């Protein structure tokens, strides 16, 4: 359905559910609700995933470190979800080796490894293993060798958080009863006996739009309290977010093919992760500090940078990494609840609670557990909303064959990156064979990917494409091709403007 059509039905219909927040939690609820046949609309004030769900550490994991707090249920549930995501979205969620260098007795770690492996499934990931000091240094000789005893290696999942979110939204939109609008903000609301009227601002044309819905699901992550202020002003605030930042480097500067876990080398004894990621980058973080400010104004400050650089240089002393080596930095807010414990010890469990008889909030949890969270939410609705047969949009108008002009290399690239959504890209190439050309061969990006993001994933700005759908923005700022690539993306956006204005 085009954006225009979506807006028309948005104004005329009464929805069963409107979800506020287009991060991974809202996306998961949209998908589960769609499968239940509920007439559902998701609205997001910025780009999909532009909140926390593009600022995570990108791990799809059980959370090895939570074992020290005895959060066995959380770890088990997360491992089940990790395995499901690895199997269902293999083009976005991939296994990655994690290396844990040891500077003290290995007993505690070996126990944790055994438990973690037992709680996950042995058949889906390679077993954990131990390497002595020589083998550890052979893999990465820049590692601090003082008192090094060896290292454990184990496997977990890694993803592109933003692309996972937009893929889940697209999957949901394949049901006729589901719709999603980005750049569409809840401003305030009115409650009547039978429904809620939501007053929203369409940021793309500055129009105010009223939407009617029987129930509202608040999936605002760190914005949960702010959204409640627009829906149920008298409700108690319950969130106490914590800030986490990451720094991004080139693998040419910090060469690594596996992920590494290492100490912050500060009094807090926090663990950092260094992850080899897309476009030859390495992402290193994450910090954990209390945050009481406005979630819209979160930023990386000098203390954050110094703290992470200090840890990196103690762990990799020969590399002398400096601030000049940073290609990109990003900050996110963990949607945690008010509790007396420090945020590092706080459980990553989620909560679902009714704010009145028509508004329900779902917050907390992790990127990894979004499906479990969404299932639990829809279970709470089963007495309120009747489950209806859900109808999937047939792809009858889509040419599912692979165009002859596309080389085997490009077919492989599209299939590996987009999984069963490849038909959308092949169909776009059928319509315009030039889209099958590389936008940039070095970065392995085809023109058709940009067109796909515009037509099927609601990208309106260069930033939506480069910083979220592609995460190329992470390494581009200091790259000689920065201007050229931005210009090429802008040109495709321009070329598809008609489509943006008239069709979507």
Selected range binding ligand FAD among 41-49, 337-345, 430-438, 465-473, rule: CB under 6 A: 41-49
How distant is the alpha carbon of residue 345 from its chain centre?
23
In whole angstroms, what is the distance from residue 10 CA to residue 15 CA?
Answer: 8
Task: Work out whether 50 is an interface residue with ligand FAD (CB under 6 A).
Answer: yes
Report the DSSP pairing between strands 259-263 and 242-250: unpaired
Question: Hey, which residues between 59 and 88 contact ligand FAD (CB under 6 A)?
Answer: 59
Task: Work out whether 367 is an interface residue with ligand FAD (CB under 6 A).
Answer: yes
- Residues 386-404 as b/e (b if ≥16 CB within 10 A, e otherwise) read eeeebeeeeeeeeeeebbe
Give phi and psi for 155, each to the nearest 5. -115, 140
Selected range binding ligand FAD among 16-24, 84-92, 401-409, 439-447, rule: CB under 6 A: 16-24
In the complex with ligand FAD, the residue whose CB is nearer, 260 or 426, is: 260
In the complex with ligand FAD, the residue whose CB is nearer, 112 or 227, is: 227
Rg (CA), the chain: 23
Least separation, in Å, of the C-beta of 159 and ligand FAD?
8
HSE-up of 72 (CA within 13 Å, CB side)?
5
Give phi and psi for 191, each to the nearest 5. -105, 135
Task: Work out whether 436 is an interface residue with ligand FAD (CB under 6 A).
Answer: no
Element (H, E) at 473: helix 473-476
Element (H, E) at 213: strand 207-218
What is the sign, positive or negative, of the torsion defined by CA atoms of 227, 229, 234, 239? positive
Site string for ligand FAD, 322-351 (x = CB under 6 A): ----------xxxx----------------
Selected range binding ligand FAD among 104-112, 223-231, 253-261, 466-474, rule: CB under 6 A: 223-231
Least separation, in Å, of the C-beta of 226 and ligand FAD?
6
In whole angstroms, what is the distance from residue 455 CA to residue 447 CA?
Answer: 13
Selected range binding ligand FAD among 169-177, 208-216, 366-374, 396-404, rule: CB under 6 A: 366-374
**Which residue, among 255, 259, 265, 251, has the nearest Cα to 306 in the 3D structure?**
265
Task: Work out whether 220 is an interface residue with ligand FAD (CB under 6 A).
Answer: yes
Least separation, in Å, of the C-beta of 335 and ligand FAD?
5
Q: Which residues contact 281 (CB under 8 A, 6 or more apart)?
A: 248, 249, 250, 251, 327, 474, 475
From 3, 16, 23, 307, residue interacting with ligand FAD (rule: CB under 6 A): 23
Q: CB under 8 Å, gap of 24 or more: what pairs does 107-115 form?
A: 109/152, 110/152, 112/64, 112/67, 112/68, 113/152, 113/154, 115/67
Question: Hey, which residues between 242 and 261 contact ligand FAD (CB under 6 A)?
Answer: 244
From 365, 374, 467, 469, residue interacting with ligand FAD (rule: CB under 6 A): 365
In the complex with ligand FAD, the residue whose CB is nearer, 36 or 346, is: 346
Least separation, in Å, of the C-beta of 433 and ligand FAD?
36
Task: Work out whether 458 is an interface residue with ligand FAD (CB under 6 A).
Answer: no
In the complex with ligand FAD, the residue whose CB is nearer, 101 or 221, is: 221
Task: Work out whether 26 is an interface residue with ligand FAD (CB under 6 A).
Answer: yes
Task: Work out whether 51 is an interface residue with ligand FAD (CB under 6 A).
Answer: yes
Least separation, in Å, of the C-beta of 227 and ligand FAD?
5
Least separation, in Å, of the C-beta of 154 and ligand FAD?
15
In whole angstroms, what is the distance from residue 126 CA to residue 104 CA?
Answer: 25
Selected range binding ligand FAD among 220-228, 352-360, 418-426, 467-475, rule: CB under 6 A: 220-228
User: What is the SS3 assignment for 250-267?
Assistant: ECCCCCCCCEEEEECCCC
In the complex with ligand FAD, the residue whose CB is nearer, 75 or 143, is: 75
In the complex with ligand FAD, the residue whose CB is nearer, 37 or 285, is: 285
Give phi and psi for 171, each to the nearest 5. -60, -40
In the complex with ligand FAD, the residue whose CB is nearer, 185 or 464, is: 185
Contact residues: ligand FAD, CB under 6 A: 20-26, 43-46, 50-53, 55-59, 185-186, 219-223, 226-227, 244, 286, 332-335, 365-368
């Amino acid at each position: 359905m085009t954006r225009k059509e979506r807006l028309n039905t948005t104004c005329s219909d009464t929805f069963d559910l409107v979800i506020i927040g287009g991060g991974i939690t809202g996306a998961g609820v949209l998908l589960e609700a769609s499968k239940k046949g509920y007439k559902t609309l998701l609205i997001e004030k910025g780009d999909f995933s532009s909140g926390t769900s593009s600022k995570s550490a990108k791990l799809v994991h059980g959370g090895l470190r939570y074992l020290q707090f005895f959060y066995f249920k959380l770890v088990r549930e997360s491992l089940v979800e990790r395995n499901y995501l690895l199997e269902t979205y293999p083009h976005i969620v991939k296994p990655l080796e994690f290396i844990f260098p040891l500077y003290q007795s290995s007993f505690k770690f070996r126990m944790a490894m055994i438990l973690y492996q037992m709680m996950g499934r042995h058949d889906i990931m390679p077993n954990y293993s131990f390497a002595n000091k020589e083998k550890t240094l052979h893999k990465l000789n820049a590692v601090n060798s003082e008192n090094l005893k060896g290292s454990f290696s184990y496997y977990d999942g890694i993803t592109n958080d933003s692309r996972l979110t937009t893929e889940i939204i697209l999957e949901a939109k394949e049901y006729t009863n589901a719709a999603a609008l980005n750049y569409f903000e809840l401003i305030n609301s009115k409650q009547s006996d039978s429904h809620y009227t939501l007053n929203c601002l369409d940021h793309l044309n500055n129009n105010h739009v009223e939407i009617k819905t029987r129930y509202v699901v608040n999936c605002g992550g760190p914005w949960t309290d702010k959204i409640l202020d627009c829906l149920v002003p008298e409700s108690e605030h319950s969130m106490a977010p914590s800030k986490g930042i990451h720094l991004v480097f080139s693998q040419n500067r910090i060469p690594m093919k596996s992920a590494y876990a290492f100490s912050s080398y500060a009094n807090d004894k926090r663990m950092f992760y260094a992850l080899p990621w897309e476009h030859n980058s390495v992402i290193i973080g994450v910090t954990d500090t209390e945050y009481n400010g406005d979630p819209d104004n979160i930023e990386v400050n000098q203390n954050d940078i110094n703290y992470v650089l200090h840890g990196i240089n103690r762990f990799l002393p020969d590399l002398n990494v400096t601030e000049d080596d940073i290609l990109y930095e990003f900050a996110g807010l963990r949607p945690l609840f008010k509790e007396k414990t420090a945020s590092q010890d706080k459980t990553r469990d989620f909560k679902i609670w009714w704010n009145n008889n028509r508004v329900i909030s779902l917050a907390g949890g992790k990127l990894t557990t979004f499906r479990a969270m969404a299932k639990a939410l829809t279970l709470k609705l089963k007495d309120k909303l009747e489950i209806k047969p859900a109808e999937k949009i047939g792809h009858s108008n889509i040419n599912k064959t692979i165009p002859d002009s596309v080389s085997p290399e490009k077919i492989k690239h599209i299939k590996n990156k987009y999984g069963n959504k490849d038909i959308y890209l092949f169909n776009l190439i059928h319509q315009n064979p030039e889209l099958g050309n590389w936008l940039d061969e070095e970065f392995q990006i085809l023109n058709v990917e940009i067109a796909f993001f515009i037509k099927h994933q609601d990208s309106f700005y260069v930033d939506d494409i480069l910083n979220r759908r592609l995460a190329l923005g992470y390494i581009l700022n200091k790259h000689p091709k920065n201007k050229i690539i931005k210009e090429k993306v802008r040109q495709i956006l321009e070329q598809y403007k008609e489509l943006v204005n008239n069709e979507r």
